[in-house]
């Protein structure tokens, strides 16, 4: 029973952010160090990995494009396809052609950071997806909110931006005095709720997928002490189901990165084009 609990604990560890790595027995277990009183976690390691991967991929691509020569190679062209699609099909329609390029680098960075964090969390023993933690998704949502606020207030002014949250409708004076303050409060609360949902949506989708895989794999150690035939059958079925779920999780990793940037683009566009 104790071994069973340990195995289940190892599975649950995959969907939680911890400060230690529990690797296969021949590699052992080790704790991440603390730097200046700050304890490193697996999520932080994955985030650094995602940032390094982005730098390793896009700095050379930027250098190639800056040279003025056509970028050659299937891999580099694939990256260009992602970048071009996001700009032309997501960012420009949401924000507008005139202002889209100001926000494109930020939204590109968001997409690939979320994507690499999602995919890195699927690697065995590498660590949990940082996007399965509210701390990470909240910071991403706050970054979108801050960009939205500064961009909106820069364009319309501080007072103009906040007053612009109220839809422009022709109302009698007495009705306007009553309804417009109510609409202002509702719209401002809605503005905050949108970004809370932005964080929770990404968190829930990434955490749920990893948790389902952990639960299904947990059937294997849970039945290890029972019948060999039952254990063997459950093991085969569990592994096959988890392989299929991993394929689905790869798709979800791309889909959630796309949805996050799609919604971020819409919110920024709404701040640039008020009611």
pLDDT band at 228 (very low <50, low <70, confident <90, very high): confident
Q: Per residue in 83-137, pLDDT tens?
A: 999 999 999 999 988 889 899 999 999 999 999 988 887 877 666 788 888 888 9
Question: Per-residue DSSP letters for 212-252?
Answer: HHHHHHHHHHHTTTS-HHHHHHHHHHHHHHHHHHHHHHHHH
- Distances, alpha carbon 224 to alpha carbons 32, 160, 179, 243, in Å: 32, 66, 65, 20
pLDDT of the residue at 4 = 43
pTM: 0.84
91: which residues sit within 8 A by CB, 6+ positions away?
Answer: 100, 103, 104, 107, 261, 265
User: What's the average model confidence in pLDDT over 265-271?
Assistant: 91
pLDDT of the residue at 149 = 92
Task: Dig out the tokens for 123 from the structure.
Answer: 């690697």
Question: Per-residue DSSP letters for 82-122?
Answer: HHHHIIIIIIHHHH-HHHHHHHHHHHHHHHHHHHHHHHHTT
Q: Per residue in 11-29, pLDDT tens?
A: 555 566 776 666 666 566 6
- How crowded is residue 170: how many other Cβ atoms within 10 Å of its Cβ? 5
Question: What share of the chain in percent tops pLDDT 90?
Answer: 27
Smallest Cα–Cα separation from 195: which of 263, 100, 113?
263
- Interstrand relation of 38-39 and 20-22 (parallel, antiparallel or unpaired): unpaired
Q: Are 201 and 219 in contact (CB under 8 A)?
A: no
pLDDT of the residue at 14 = 55
User: How many whole angstroms separate alpha carbon 274 and alpha carbon 21?
Assistant: 48
SS3 74: helix
Q: Per residue in 148-203, pLDDT tens?
A: 999 989 888 888 888 888 877 777 777 788 888 888 888 889 989 999 999 998 88
């Amino acid at each position: 029973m104790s071994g069973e609990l340990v195995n289940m604990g190892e599975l649950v560890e995959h969907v939680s952010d911890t400060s230690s790595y529990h690797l296969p027995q021949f590699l052992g277990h080790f704790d991440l160090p603390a730097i200046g009183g700050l304890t490193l976690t697996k999520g932080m390691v994955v985030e650094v990995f995602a940032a390094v991967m982005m730098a390793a991929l896009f700095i050379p691509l930027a250098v190639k494009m800056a040279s003025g020569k056509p970028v050659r190679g299937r891999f580099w062209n694939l990256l260009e396809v992602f970048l071009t699609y996001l700009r032309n099909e997501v960012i420009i329609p949401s924000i507008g052609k005139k202002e889209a390029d100001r926000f494109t680098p930020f939204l590109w960075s968001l997409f690939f950071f979320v994507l690499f964090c999602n995919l890195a969390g699927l690697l065995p023993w590498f660590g949990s997806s940082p996007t399965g933690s509210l701390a990470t998704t909240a910071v991403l949502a706050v970054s979108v909110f801050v960009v939205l606020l500064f961009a909106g207030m820069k364009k319309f002014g501080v007072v103009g931006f906040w007053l612009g949250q109220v839809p422009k409708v022709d109302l009698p004076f007495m009705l306007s005095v009553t309804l417009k303050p109510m609409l202002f409060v509702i719209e401002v609360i809605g503005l905050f709720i949108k970004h809370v949902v932005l964080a929770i949506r990404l968190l829930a989708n990434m955490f749920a997928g990893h948790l389902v895989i952990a639960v299904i794999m947990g059937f294997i150690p849970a039945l290890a002490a029972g019948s060999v035939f039952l254990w063997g059958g459950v093991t085969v079925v569990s592994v096959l189901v988890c392989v299929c779920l991993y394929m689905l999780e790869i798709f979800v990793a791309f889909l959630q990165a796309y949805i996050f940037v799609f919604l971020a683009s819409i919110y920024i566009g709404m701040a640039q084009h008020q009611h």
